[in-house]
Amino acid sequence: MIKLFFLIVWTFSSFSNVFAQEKSVRIDSLLQSAVQRGMFNGVLLAAQDGRIMYEKAFGYADFGQKKANTIETGFELASVSKVFTAVAILQLKDKGKLKFDDPFSLYYPDFPYKTVTIRQLLSHTSGISDQDIENQKAEIPFKDTYTNQELVTFLSQHTFKFKLSPNEKWWYSNTGYALLAALVEKLSGKTFDVYLQKEIFKKAGMKHTYLKSDFLNTKPNFPETSNYDYPKRYISEREKMEGSKSYYHTASYGASNVVSTVHDLLLFDNALYNTTLVNQSTLKEAYQSTILKNGEKNYVWINIGGMGKAYDGLGWFLFDDESAGKTVWHTGGMPGCVTILLRNVVKKQTVVLLDNVNSEGVYLTAFNTLNILNNQPLLPVRKSFSKAYGKILMKDGDEAADLFLIENRTRKNLYSISENDLNNLGYDFLSDKLYSQALKVFKTNIVLFPESDNTYNSYGEALYKIGKKDEALQMFRKSLEINPENEDSIKAIEDFTK
């Protein structure tokens, strides 16, 4: 009987190992394909129940020195850093130092936006908009080196006009997370970097994670990537993101600035499954959609990339589809950096993807890795047609661009063709006074989207800017034939008659 029991256990274990190896092979094939297409340069880790099923590094951490990425390489996390800010707030809630529905002004009485709550800051529904602040900088003196506490004071001393009211709509806000970091400092009595180190990184066993800034005297004792990106979407060669191109000159934290490794992020993931960091009841609340004042879920997007609906909890995005288990996650992106942390908290599956060249399609690549773990079909990972087209047009000219268009306009499994992306490419060329390329792109957009009034309007604007007013007028009229209510075309024609 005992022998039979061990035989059954051994057989089950053998089958499990076979299935794990099969999934590892499929994940590797997925990654190798992405690398060959120029769509991944970094590290991916996949784990089940805290056990690593796949980990591999690809490409270079430093292209100039030909220094390869490794599993131990540290990557700038960009907005994945926000999960640590959120966890800090959850910890303070567990300690009774705050409540999610407390107004932020309860702790900063001079803060003028009295109805903004901690819950709204966590879920990007506060109405405090980075864009609105940016647009009013000319009217209100602003510097880029505020500490977290100075930022609160600055926002308290100047009245900004925000388009959205609190809890009206989801609107991503880096400023909101800087405010949360200020609150962590005030209630804990520790600077934000010290708090993260003592209360999160150390408790989770994360020895290769730190808060990076020009204002902190922090020197990591582990290898770290450099970031690379294209200076323009039509430029073919990436350049190093350093100096003024780096994102780490700010003295306020909370929205980004954390550097970590895939292994440390797995340790963080494991620590969230016990009471090391946060009570499970608090995490359960964080993993639920917040509700807008109209009673609807706080949706982040609707089926972008085919990944399905997603909404915002308290520091975590959440997929609406839970058929394979509840998945909580966060993404990060900035020039030269794109990151994602995916966690199926029902099946204890984890996917960490860190990339230091801002590769295309990596969120889908990570999502497909999770699909492999769950035996789900893979989604197509497409490159941006407009970026590839713009690079060829700029480097090799019209004929090469035409050939690329002919060969790839119907290859929808490889390229995503977007009217809006092409339009943006055209305006990039136009703003840089590359008029020939701009006209070419706008004309191509008309070929691909002949029923769009906007394509004719944009082409008309470009023609008008270079002095071809008669041709521009024809385009504005064509735009109105398709859509008589196109306000830009109506105004343009009115300007012709003045």
Domain boundary among 329, 354, 373: 373
In a domain, 264, yes or no: yes
Q: Are residues 267 and 225 in the same domain?
A: yes
Domain boundary among 373, 392, 409: 373
pLDDT at 16 (0 to 100) = 54
Would you tell me how many other CB atoms lie within 10 Å of the CB of residue 93? 20
In a domain, 203, yes or no: yes
Q: How far apart are CA 411 and CA 349, in angstroms?
A: 33
Q: Are 368 and 356 in contact (CB under 8 A)?
A: no
Strand 349-355 and strand 42-48: the pairing is antiparallel
Q: Are residues 269 and 196 in the same domain?
A: yes
Can you list the alpha helix ranges (DSSP code H) found in 260-332? 262-271, 280-286
Q: Are residues 394 and 361 in the same domain?
A: no
Q: Are residues 346 and 461 in the same domain?
A: no
Q: Are residues 426 and 303 in the same domain?
A: no
User: pLDDT digit string (tens) for 271-299?
Assistant: 999 989 999 999 999 999 999 999 999 99
Domain hosting 400: range is 383-496
| Largest separation between any pair of C-alpha atoms in the chain | 98
Say how many domains are in the chain: 2
Q: How far apart are CA 388 and CA 136, in angstroms?
A: 35
Residue 256: which of 172, 199, 189 has the closest Cα?
172
Q: Are residues 327 and 391 in the same domain?
A: no
Residue type, 95: K
Q: Are 183 and 93 in contact (CB under 8 A)?
A: no
Query: Which CATH number do you get for residue 457?
Result: 1.25.40.10
In a domain, 33, yes or no: no
In a domain, 392, yes or no: yes
Residue 264: which of 367, 335, 319, 339 has the closest Cα?
339
pLDDT at 413 (0 to 100) = 87
Torsion of CA 472, 474, 479, 484, to 10 degrees: 120
User: Residue 248 corresponds to which tokens in the numbers above?
Assistant: 């780490």
Q: Are residues 413 and 336 in the same domain?
A: no
Reported in sequence order, the residue ranges of 320-413 that DSSP labels E, i.e. its strands, are 327-334, 337-344, 349-355, 383-384
Average pLDDT (251-255) is 91
Torsion of CA 394, 399, 402, 404, to 10 degrees: -70
User: Residue 25 corresponds to which tokens in the numbers above?
Assistant: 């092979």
User: Residue 41 corresponds to which tokens in the numbers above?
Assistant: 């340069």
User: Residue 332 corresponds to which tokens in the numbers above?
Assistant: 């990060």
User: pLDDT digit string (tens) for 436-473?
Assistant: 999 999 999 999 999 999 999 999 999 999 999 999 99
User: Residue 374 corresponds to which tokens in the numbers above?
Assistant: 């769950």
Q: How many CA atoms lie within 13 A of 423 on its CB side?
A: 15
User: Residue 242 corresponds to which tokens in the numbers above?
Assistant: 């350093």
- Cα 54–55–58 angle (5° rounding)? 130
Can you list the alpha helix ranges (DSSP code H) found in 262-384? 262-271, 280-286, 362-373
Tell whether the model's pLDDT for residue 107 goes beyond 80: yes
Q: How far apart are CA 42 and CA 332, in angstroms?
A: 14
Model pTM greater than 0.75?
yes
Helix and strand numbers (H, E) in the chain are: 18, 17
Q: Are residues 350 and 212 in the same domain?
A: yes
pLDDT at 14 (0 to 100) = 47
Q: How far apart are CA 251 and CA 270, in angstroms?
A: 30
The set of residues, in sequence order, having a beta carbon less than 8 Å from that of 22 and lying 6+ positions away, is none
Residue 381: which of 339, 416, 355 has the closest Cα?
416
Query: Which CATH number do you get for residue 147?
Result: 3.40.710.10
Q: Are residues 231 and 368 in the same domain?
A: yes
Which of 68-72, 215-219, 413-417, 488-492: highest mean pLDDT?
68-72
Domain boundary among 333, 348, 373: 373
Q: Are residues 345 and 399 in the same domain?
A: no
In a domain, 17, yes or no: no
Backbone angles phi, psi at 229, to 5 degrees: -155, 165
User: pLDDT digit string (tens) for 391-411?
Assistant: 999 999 999 999 999 999 999
Q: Are 316 and 324 in contact (CB under 8 A)?
A: no
Tell whether the model's pLDDT for residue 498 goes beyond 80: no
Return the H-helix or E-strand segment holding 135: helix 130-135
pLDDT at 131 (0 to 100) = 93
Q: Are residues 429 and 313 in the same domain?
A: no
In a domain, 468, yes or no: yes
Strand 383-384 and strand 415-416: the pairing is parallel
In a domain, 344, yes or no: yes
Q: Are 312 and 123 in contact (CB under 8 A)?
A: yes
pLDDT band (50, 70, 90) for residue 359: very high
pLDDT at 243 (0 to 100) = 73
In a domain, 310, yes or no: yes
Q: Are residues 215 and 254 in the same domain?
A: yes
